Amino acid sequence: MNSPAHAPGTGETLSGAKIIDAVKAAGISHVLSVPDLHTAKGILSRVTTDKDLTLIRVCKEDETLGIAAGLTYGDKKSLILIQYTGFLYAINAIRGVACEQKLPMCMMIGLLSKEVGVAPQDSSKFGLRIVEPILDTMGIERHYIDLDADIAKITPALNRAWERSQPVAFLIGRRPS
């Protein structure tokens, strides 16, 4: 199930606090992240002060997959928070760990520098245009999160990932506030 991307206007917002609430409602206890400009203020900074979440900072995006797999085997639910460039860098680890091992790797992917009002597939940036087709080719459920209304997709999709032991990706279209 892939939710379609939409291209809203500039007057809309995306709440980092509401995203964190949706993640916690699905039982996520750990967040693995490489510092990320796109989600740093609205999401990552909130994770650092949330007593219910443990932040694990890593040096490279592909490291998040191995750590998340280990947490999974320890029955801990985690969320990987990276930029789309890091997603592209970590494709082989995503293939091997999330897809071939059929593990519930839950990825929140910031679409850094995505033009406001432009869907990712219509971006002038090549890297942004190819993220959704790559996820589709890999068979990874994806959801475009660009408005507060989209946040309602997060908890059910995270729960499905764990119930079915499959990866899921959330594409964060705008910088959360």
Give the pLDDT confidence of 116-126 residue by residue, as tens digits. Answer: 889 999 999 99
Rounded to the nearest integer, the mean pLDDT of the chain is 93
Give the pLDDT confidence of 64-76 residue by residue, as tens digits. Answer: 999 999 999 999 9
Task: Find the mean pLDDT for residues 139-161.
Answer: 97
CA angle in degrees (0–180, nearest 5) for 151-152-157:
95
C-alpha 19/C-alpha 3 separation (Å) is 17
pTM surpassing 0.85? Answer: yes
* 177 lies in some domain: no
Instruction: Please give the structure tokens belonging to residue 149.
Output: 């209304």
| pLDDT computed for residue 57 by the predictor | 95
CB 32 within 8 A of CB 80: yes
Q: How many domains does the chain have?
A: 1
| pLDDT computed for residue 8 by the predictor | 47
Full domain range(s) for residue 144: 16-172
C-alpha 147/C-alpha 173 separation (Å) is 8
C-alpha 125/C-alpha 171 separation (Å) is 15
* 80 lies in some domain: yes
**Which amino acid belongs to residue 16?**
G
* 167 lies in some domain: yes
